[in-house]
A and B are shown apart, each in its own frame.
Chain A
Amino acid sequence: ETGVTQTPRHLVMGMTNKKSLKCEQHLGHNAMYWYKQSAKKPLELMFVYNFKEQTENNSVPSRFSPECPNSSHLFLHLHTLQPEDSALYLCASSHGTSGSDEQFFGPGTRLTVL
């Protein structure tokens, strides 16, 4: 499946580093999402973008900064992360913006913060 791609697939960073995660969807969808998946916790929604506009920030710490330059691309900028931020970060997209549409997920970025 290549509808939603994410890079890098794996990332190791120190707490003082700055890095960015990239997501691209090739499906012509109008909504894009960032999720965090930690061990033993449900998928947590972080951000929602509809038609490039952020419509949801689910109480995410400011060390995570999203950017959506157009409907096909979504970034997650990371700065001064903590070890507890280590997780799988998943990007998803959907055609509709109501939240009730089927979501297509990318393969994820496995992030380790040292």
Chain B
Amino acid sequence: GQQVMQIPQYQHVQEGEDFTTYCNSSTTLSNIQWYKQRPGGHPVFLIQLVKSGEVKKQKRLTFQFGEAKKNSSLHITATQTTDVGTYFCAVVTGFQKLVFGTGTRLLVSP
């Protein structure tokens, strides 16, 4: 079945440093979604990307969809302690179901 790999699995940064997580698929994707799960919480939708090469920004977060629509990235500029959590990408398979990536756990030290 569809597999979606995310790297890194874990990253620990100092507050103010930048952070990037990457999502990779072996197949071409129709779209990709990103979710954030705070420790002890549940996944919360952040954004959906649909177009090849698309770039979207939400304050300090920048989301990008690759030109070949096989990969995506989430970049956080100047991290804050409130950014702590696990970031998941999710893709729709041909069976019309959402498959979640392995997630990147971000820890931010003050």
Which stretch (A11-19, A61-69, A74-82, A103-111) binds chain B?
Answer: A103-111
Most buried by A among B43, B44, B93, B103: B43
B41 touches A107 (CB 8 A): yes
Partner of A43, one of B44, B45, B48, B88: B88
Q: Is B42 an interface residue (CB 8 A)?
A: yes
Which stretch (B60-68, B77-85, B94-102) binds chain A?
Answer: B94-102
Task: State A45–B98 Cα separation when bound (angstroms).
Answer: 8
B23-61 toward A: CB 8 Å interface, digit per residue (1/0)? 000000011010000000111110010000000000000
- Nearest A residue to B46 by beta-carbon distance? A102
- Nearest B residue to A4 by beta-carbon distance? B42
B42 touches A43 (CB 8 A): no
Chain B residues near A105 (CB, 8 Å)?
Answer: 42-44
B100 touches A98 (CB 8 A): no
A102 touches B48 (CB 8 A): yes
B42 touches A108 (CB 8 A): yes
Asked if A99 meets B43 with Cβ closer than 8 Å, knowing A42-B101, A42-B102, the reply is no
Task: State A98–B48 Cα separation when bound (angstroms).
Answer: 14
A45 touches B43 (CB 8 A): no
Most buried by A among B45, B97, B98: B98
Task: State A42–B99 Cα separation when bound (angstroms).
Answer: 9
B interface with A by C-beta (< 8 Å): 4, 30-31, 33, 41-45, 48, 88, 92-93, 95-103
- Known contacts A43-B100, A100-B48, A105-B44, then 18 further A-B pairs from the complex at CB < 8 Å, ordered by chain A residue: A42-B4, A42-B100, A42-B103, A45-B97, A45-B98, A56-B95, A56-B97, A90-B43, A98-B96, A99-B93, A99-B95, A99-B97, A99-B98, A100-B31, A102-B48, A104-B45, A107-B41, A107-B42
A interface with B by C-beta (< 8 Å): 42-43, 45, 48, 56, 58, 90, 92, 97-100, 102-108
